[in-house]
A = this chain, B = another copy of it.
Amino acid sequence: MTRIVCRQLAPVLGDLVANHREIVRTITEETAAGADVLVLPELATSGYVFRASEEVAACAITPSDPLVEEWVAAISGGAVVVCGFAERGENGLVHNSAVVLDASGVRTTYRKVHLWDREKLFFTPGDRLPEVVDTSFGRIAPMICYDLEFPEYTRSVALAGADLIAAPTNWPLVDRPDGERPPEVLIAQAAARVNRVTIACCDRTGTERGQAWTEGTTIIDHNGWPAAEAGPDHRAACTADLTTARDKQISPHNNLFQDRHPTLYITT
């Protein structure tokens, strides 16, 4: 069984050093305490509510930055860490990215493809699917926030073999009826169930230029049901057998992937 932990941090806008310290502290604490897979929020290094490109560019780093080496060094044992950050890319471009780390270093860097609202003013979208990283716990794919709301994208990553989608998010609070879960969680639940994968969504907290956050951190099991939700402690944790995702047979005659009729679908 794999111990999955999400920590709903409160990044400080533009304060790379303070955010870095909090990331190191959290990785140290949680992996020492037994987390096998630790997921941190989107843009955990930079905050979110930018007013100008210069703000995010000033705290963007590459995945080979010494700060990221410190994250790697903070990992205890065989744990895997997924963390969102503002990435300095080629030619001065800035990406909304996530790294997948273990004690050996950076396993993959993913650049968010589907950008939300004003992110389009500050970030260049990625141009490839998340890589599925084979770990001792199972196959883990990163995905970031609004990416989850494209069911053809979650499907793609499931078809590529992911057992767990680890999704750093920054969910700005939106309206919902009383008693309902956040709509982003609902969408992730459906994605988990129709693909039979686990999805760990790690949201953020903290105030930033008046923006309220959903604080909707939820770990969803492969049947689509919440296994853990963050409360006032801003932490969600559960254990799961990630490899359960590999059996897509859901009735004597039904296999979630084999039942698809791809030639009929509109894909353009």
Binding site for B on A (CB under 8 A): 113-121, 125, 127-129, 146, 149-156, 159-160, 176-177, 180, 183, 186-187, 189-191, 193-194, 223-225, 251-254, 259-262, 264-268
Contacts and interface: CB of A to CB of B under 8 A. Distances in A.
Contact of A194 (B151, B224, B260): B151
A264 B224 contact: no
Nearest first, the 10 A-B pairs at minimum CB distance are: A151-B151, A190-B190, A156-B266, A267-B267, A117-B251, A152-B265, A187-B190, A117-B253, A159-B266, A120-B253
Contacts of A128: 264
Given A186-B189, A187-B193, A187-B194, A117 B252 contact: yes
A251 B186 contact: no
A114 B261 contact: yes
A129 B186 contact: no
B186 A156 contact: no
B152 A267 contact: yes
Contact of A114 (B150, B151, B259): B259
A191 B190 CA distance: 8
Nearest to A160: B266
Nearest to A172: B251
Contact of A118 (B129, B187, B253, B260): B253
Contacts of A260: 150, 152
- Residue of A129, A155, A191, A267 contacting most chain B CB atoms (<10 Å): A267
A183 B225 CA distance: 9
A227 to B, nearest CB: 10
A177 to B, nearest CB: 5
